Structure 1
């Protein structure tokens, strides 16, 4: 049975000798945090809330400063710096973590989460704990699971209601074999390209469309050239407010508990802010003439992903239990 307790894993990590045992007094600790987003983004606001709560509840013994706009480096570099303890905390998509933490790759499987609320429940429960086990083993402690929305298809040709509607469409995807396989499994033509090239590529017919969450679709004006937005919600990839295990283990047990609780509280705030941002984006694209369609039955899409899952599990047999835990969740 796949089960995990973060407290147990942290204890094991300490006993393993890689980190000094927690519990030594920590006075006037200043934590440095990485964030790729601008300061008024939902993630950024939630991170500032996290810092404020930690400072207040530790009576100023711990302060946290978040460096926004990616000024501390690229996301892959920052993930490595978190592992090394050079940066103390940060907010990351689980997608890029897959290169160094295999467990995080599971959430990049298409249609693995039935919905955003299901993702919340699973990530706040046993699934999040299982993924956290892999993260802690690599030196990263998850503090809260943030929302990055659901990615859906948009194009300039037709609404997508079934997998057959993807057939023949030229779809821009991120450069990831999982996402290429996802489109190809529905007989579409997957085209990896830089995100900044998408608008012009749709406008000129190089591709018919792409896929992304509502704020990205709206803020880049892609809705001007791809008027059909189909809520497939095929990728629901959560993000994580994380702390370096090296930094975490320097805190007292009481401070560690405060940091974890503040992380979870910030995640609840971020989710609320993200939903508000999504709603505003949906209003904008509707006013701009976008045809939005909801897909009531996603089972045919999930069934079409069989080859994608088969290949992933053949390449990662040790992740079978985790995949099944998510897919079989009630």
Structure 2
């Protein structure tokens, strides 16, 4: 009798243990594409893709693996969402900023001058914003994709040939940058020169510009520190430029356990990049460029305030623009500021004032 009871106890324990394990339907290898170089190159945001993939494989006990093509080998960055949407690949690491027509709200951090630069803060704030605005997910579904990872990047700062300590130091200077809004964020008297990352070194070398705007990871790869010896920690903003998406048709065919793992691995990756990898990289970067004679300075908060006050209210323009497309633009802009303030960030001024 005792043996029979023990046997039933053992069976019950095994059933309970199996019930807590993910129920996988089959083994699969997902074809993936990234706009970034492979992670064996230091400080490439392809590292986020590697962390996510490794975590998915680990949590599925090897049932989900990946075959990845790196460095935009399948086409330019803006084409990656199309490749994913049509199923040419099952996973893509790309940047919503490339395709604002597909994701009108997708690259919202690039709308706010002098927004938060703490990577862990923006990760937490981004999660809260997504809960508040289902439109972000709805836009993904329209494109037949699902964003599973929002790994943050480093702060956007300036490297220059001369020290930058006040907004007056920008007068008469040309600044290399990209994007729709960065040129409008410059202080009075500065001129934007819009060029891709690959052109920055030559622009500085030939004297076309004396100042470059980028995250430290991009400064590292372009090697502009060989020419520009002053790093100004201005903290223009930080955002998400290495998002990972999964084809929605593929995602829906997965078991609930698979689906949960893909999302939870994304949360794991966001936190690991924010709290461990980015700080480590930043320390390596500063150590390395100091060997080239680079000096670091913190741009004064009073000057940031003057700078912010001199700018047009671009977030209000953005809010009005997306509102005309049916989005709650002004509520969205206000919510990002409210959430980040709640998490401890202090804005230089209020943005998104409705006229």
TM-score by length of 2: 0.77
Show the counterpart of 1:283: 287
Instruction: Output the CA distance in 1 between the equivalents of 2:67 and 2:113.
Output: 36
Decide whether the 8 Å contact of 1:30 with 1:64 is kept in 2: yes
Higher RCO (C-alpha under 8 Å, 6+ residues apart) = 1
Show the counterpart of 1:87: 89
1:97/1:279 CA distance change after superposition, 3 Å: farther
CA displacement at 1:212 relative to structure 2: 0.7
1:234/1:256 CA distance change after superposition, 3 Å: same
Instruction: Output the CA distance in 2 between the equivalents of 1:198 and 1:47.
Output: 26
Instruction: Output the CA distance in 1 between the equivalents of 2:124 and 2:193.
Output: 33
Show the counterpart of 1:150: 155
CA displacement at 1:209 relative to structure 2: 1.3
Match of 2:314 among 303, 308, 320: 308
Decide whether the 8 Å contact of 2:225 with 2:294 is kept in 1: yes
CA displacement at 1:26 relative to structure 2: 4.2
Show the counterpart of 1:240: 243
- SS for the counterpart of 2:290 is helix
Instruction: Output the CA distance in 2 between the equivalents of 1:263 and 1:220.
Output: 28
1:59/1:218 CA distance change after superposition, 3 Å: closer
Show the counterpart of 1:18: none
Show the counterpart of 2:253: 250
The range that moved more, 248-257 or 31-40, is 31-40
Match of 2:185 among 182, 186, 200: 182
Decide whether the 8 Å contact of 2:200 with 2:222 is kept in 1: no
CA displacement at 1:129 relative to structure 2: 6.5
Instruction: Output the CA distance in 1 between the equivalents of 2:169 and 2:180.
Output: 21
Decide whether the 8 Å contact of 1:97 with 1:105 is kept in 2: no
Instruction: Output the CA distance in 2 between the equivalents of 1:218 and 1:49.
Output: 21
Show the counterpart of 2:38: 38
Instruction: Output the CA distance in 2 between the equivalents of 1:285 and 1:60.
Output: 40
Decide whether the 8 Å contact of 1:144 with 1:260 is kept in 2: yes
1:105/1:216 CA distance change after superposition, 3 Å: closer
Instruction: Output the CA distance in 2 between the equivalents of 1:145 and 1:54.
Output: 15
Larger Rg: 2
Show the counterpart of 1:12: none
Decide whether the 8 Å contact of 1:34 with 1:90 is kept in 2: yes
* Structure 1: gaps (5+ residues): 1-23
CA displacement at 1:283 relative to structure 2: 1.3
Instruction: Output the CA distance in 2 between the equivalents of 1:227 and 1:139.
Output: 45
CA displacement at 1:222 relative to structure 2: 0.9
Instruction: Output the CA distance in 1 between the equivalents of 2:132 and 2:253.
Output: 22
TM-score by length of 1: 0.82
Paired residues for 1:21-32 under 5 Å:
26-32=25-31
Show the counterpart of 2:80: 78
1:299 matched to 2:301? The reply is no
**Alignment deviations for residues 304-326 of structure 1 (CA, whole Å, 9 cap, x no partner):** 33343343333333322222111
* Structure 2: gaps (5+ residues): 1-22, 343-355
Instruction: Output the CA distance in 1 between the equivalents of 2:114 and 2:93.
Output: 22
Match of 1:106 among 108, 114, 120: 108
Instruction: Output the CA distance in 2 between the equivalents of 1:106 and 1:328.
Output: 15
1:251/1:172 CA distance change after superposition, 3 Å: same
CA displacement at 1:257 relative to structure 2: 0.6
- SS for the counterpart of 2:162 is coil
CA displacement at 1:59 relative to structure 2: 4.1
1:327 matched to 2:337? The reply is yes
How many residues end up aligned between the 2 structures?
Answer: 304
CA displacement at 1:211 relative to structure 2: 0.5
